[in-house]
């Protein structure tokens, strides 16, 4: 009888330990889910930032092309201005 009480007590202690392990495991599972959610949110933010960077690069390229176009226009206008100035001087010296 003492032996069966001893085994019964060990079994109860094992059950308590098992329940404690189950609770700890459940806590770890919840913690992992929280971390998984946090990681998903970070991945979403990274994707969002990547898209924003891509948009900014596109805008930068577009502004660069516009800048090149305006620079070409300026050079043509400047050349035309100097040609016009020369033509006016030539006309003035011809009179």
pLDDT tens per residue, range 49-86:
999 999 999 999 999 999 999 999 999 999 999 999 99
Nearest of 76, 73, 79, 74 to residue 87 by alpha carbon: 79
Mean pLDDT of 27-45: 96
73-80 CB contacts, 8 Å cutoff, 24+ apart: none
Residue 24 has a pLDDT of: 97
- Return the DSSP state at 5: H
Domain ranges (residues) in the chain: 1-68
Residue with tokens 């040609």: 83
This prediction has a pTM of 0.55
Query: Could you tell me the CA-to-CA distances from 55 to 38, 42, 52, 86 in Å, in that order?
Result: 26, 20, 5, 46
Mean pLDDT within 27-46: 96
Please determine, for residue 88, whether its predicted confidence score (pLDDT) is greater than 90.
Answer: yes
What pLDDT shows up at residue 6?
86
pLDDT at 76: 97
Tokens of 59: 């805008």
Chain-wide mean pLDDT for the chain? 94
């Amino acid at each position: 009888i003492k032996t069966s009480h001893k085994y019964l007590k060990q079994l109860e202690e094992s059950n308590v330990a098992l329940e404690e392990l189950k609770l700890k495991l459940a806590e770890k599972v919840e913690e992992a889910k929280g971390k998984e959610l946090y990681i998903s949110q970070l991945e979403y933010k990274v994707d969002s930032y990547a898209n924003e960077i891509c948009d900014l690069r596109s805008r930068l390229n577009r502004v660069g092309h516009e800048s090149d176009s305006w620079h070409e226009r300026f050079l043509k206008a400047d050349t035309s201005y100097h040609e016009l100035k020369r033509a006016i001087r030539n006309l003035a010296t011809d009179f």
